[in-house]
Amino acid sequence: MRVLITGGAGYIGSHTVKALGEKGYQVLTVDNLSNGHKEAVLYGDLVVGDVGDKDLMEDIVSSFKPEVVIHFSAYIEVGISVKNPLSFYKNNVINSLNLLEVLIKNNIKNFIFSSTAAVYGNPVKIPIPEEHPIKPINPYGKTKATVEKALEDFNKAYNFNYVSLRYFNAAGADPSGRIGENHNPETHLIPLILQTAKGEREAIKIFGTDYPTDDGTCIRDYIHVNDLAEAHILAMEYLLDSGKSDIFNCGYGYGYSVREVIETAKRVTGKDFKVIEDDRREGDPPVLVADSKKLKKKLNWKPKYDNLETIVKTAWNWELNRRY
């Protein structure tokens, strides 16, 4: 079966490409490499190009004839989205609509969308169910929510089938050490902590120590990137079997505090490092944890790496032996 992946040279995309390739799927990746790495694409061909280029996507889709498209391509940095929302709306919304137009024109009707827990905004219920109100508080979350709304309308109007996966905090790396996380700038907690343990950063900052949690620091639901990749394959197979569009949270249903992640990293690396306690950051909810019962029940998702120590160990192995 042929699967087209946009953004397959990025962090989550590359792990999904690897998982698909190992299961024998025929994969084609399109990535402009603005945030991705060609070395991360371990299976299938890579076309270096922009998803917003309708002529290019028309050529690719009409020749490759994918049965499913998995759409990862997006800007993801929340802070940058606040400072430069125009670029996020252009890349995350307009380019997605251009891609969807090409797919509908070519009668390709199975689509997996890379969404985010940021669509929920400040949660009113923990753990967060899929039915939670959609009230994003930053442009990044708003762009993802906008595409989700478009998909809902396209499903009704064009019989276009989709699954939207709302990620919580993707973390870790493939245990092989061949691929891993590499953002520039890096904003994710675990790689920042591990780079501090390596001596590449002077200290790690804790933003806020007075939250209403057991140790006063924020709690997040960290999901290993390989378990997340598996969720994409299950979602794809579900869509092809059932033809029913749906939305699923991707998380473990429990979280760890910033202090717990730091202590786990110290234990895994055997390194001590400087920790600075700082003020809260605007827009950081105290707790973000997924209700992922639906993913487990409907898709029979069975995570294999759902342990913080395992997540940190695989990320540390990658940090010590980076290929890109």
Map out the domains of the chain as residue ranges. Answer: 2-171+223-250, 189-220+253-320
Residue 74 structure tokens: 């997006």
Q: Say which residues have a Cβ less than 8 Å from residue 322's Cβ, sequence separation at least 6.
A: 180, 182
Does domain 2-171+223-250 correspond to CATH entry 3.40.50.720?
yes
Residue 232 structure tokens: 């994409």
> Count of alpha carbons within 13 Å of 66, Cβ hemisphere only?
27
Active site residues: 140
Residue 281 structure tokens: 């950051």
Which regions of the chain are under pLDDT 50?
none
Residue 41 structure tokens: 């694409």
Question: What was the pLDDT predicted at 282?
Answer: 83
Angle in degrees, CA 26, 31, 35, rounded to 5: 130
Beta-bridge mates of residue 46: 29
Question: What was the pLDDT predicted at 71?
Answer: 98
Residue 190 structure tokens: 């675990």
Distance CA 29, CA 44 (A): 7
- Other Cβ atoms less than 10 A from the Cβ of 278: the count is 10
The answer to whether 269 touches 197, Cβ cutoff 8 Å, is yes
Q: Is 171 helix (H, G, I), strand (E, B) or coil?
A: strand
> Look-up: residue for tokens 């109007």?
157
Distance CA 167, CA 175 (A): 21
The domain at 189-220+253-320 falls in which architecture? Alpha-Beta Complex (3.90)
Instruction: Provide φ and ψ at 193, rounded to 5°.
Output: -65, -45
Q: What is the pLDDT of residues 125-184, one digit of tens each?
A: 999 999 999 999 999 999 999 999 999 999 999 999 999 999 999 999 999 999 999 998
Residue 104 structure tokens: 């509908």
**How many residues can be counted in the chain?**
324
Question: What was the pLDDT predicted at 203?
Answer: 98
